[in-house]
Amino acid sequence: MSAGDKLRNLSPSWVNHPARQTLAFGGAGVAAAIVHYGTLIGLVQGGILAPVPATLCGYLGGGLVSYALNRRHTYRSDRPHREAVWRFVVVAAVGFFLTWAIMGVLVDGWTMPYLPAQFLTTGIVLIWSFLAHRGWTFRQRPEGSATEAARSAPDFSVKGDRGKRSPSD
């Protein structure tokens, strides 16, 4: 049995334990930060973009890595992608604008060097993202929720029929 299989078979109380989620979020964050900072530094040092637009490009790349890793390893969400993706995008959009605003103030307003400014910005956005994803994006749906009931209900639709038919039709 692989290490991944052993982790997937952990008890539900450990899977949703805040300490395990924090560690997994940190690991996913390191991978996302490598993409984010690599893009930022490459674009700035290559003379391609100024620090604020470059960090936003890095944020987008890191966001893709973050979604994939956090959905699978941090929160082990049972939410279908059609529910989780749009929630992730909303949280990421808020993080994107926080990044833009904080970096704009620190780099353009206060003339702070872009890397220390990015470290500070990352810490602030990291806290926002963890709490929002844990409490909303990837939160486990309660047993018996309307979405769960709808998913497990029998489907009496007929191909091409836009409505539902009752079993007596």
101-118 pLDDT, tens per residue?
Answer: 999 999 999 999 999 999
Model confidence at 75: pLDDT above 50:
yes
Lowest mean pLDDT among 13-27, 84-98, 100-114: 13-27
Best-predicted range by mean pLDDT (10-24, 59-73, 133-147) = 59-73
pTM given for the model: 0.68
Residue 144: pLDDT band with limits 50, 70, 90:
low
CA distance 64 to 58: 10
Query: Comparing C-alpha atoms, which of 36, 130, 128, 23 is closest to residue 73?
Result: 23
* Summary mean pLDDT of the chain: 81
Residue 12: pLDDT band with limits 50, 70, 90:
low
pLDDT given for residue 4 in this prediction: 55
User: Tokens at residue 143, please?
Assistant: 């047993």
The 10s digit of each residue's pLDDT in 77-91 is: 778 888 888 999 999
Task: Please give the average per-residue pLDDT across 60-80, as a whole number.
Answer: 87
